[in-house]
Amino acid sequence: MSTDSVPARRLWLIDGFNVLHACLLSGRDRSDWWQPQRQREVMQWVHAFAEIEEVCVVFDAKSEPEASLLGEPTSAEVCHAPSADEAIIERVRHSLGQHDVHVVTADRPLGDRCRSLGARVERPWAFARRIASGTD
């Protein structure tokens, strides 16, 4: 069987703080949105989905927080980068061909850049419905 006929695994790259603001903090206090406990909320939110799909949540951060601050490990990979957008773009470039890449963001310029590279882009609200329904 040719490897060309084997479908690529899906990789979901999630713009962490973007999704946090769009889906998890809606109507809630946003004064501490950058804190590790908020990052932990995102990681817990995607945990079940990450058990069936490959997921990487990317957060903007000058340095990676201490692992214990993020709570229990989840099925999703977590990355911290000075620019989450640039880290996502770089991951898209390196993953296409090996994965069917999906980027979750409401950031239009980031979404446009990812699409131009060949990734699919899903808005956070559509991704939230996907998680809530348990569909992949």
pLDDT digits (tens, 9 = 90+) for 31-60: 777 777 888 889 989 988 999 999 999 999
pLDDT digits (tens, 9 = 90+) for 91-126: 999 999 899 999 999 999 999 999 999 999 999 999
Fold of 8-133: Rossmann fold (3.40.50)
What is the C-alpha to C-alpha distance for residues 8 and 68, in angstroms, rounded to an integer?
Answer: 34
> Is pLDDT above 50 for 70?
yes
**End-to-end CA separation in angstroms for the chain:** 26
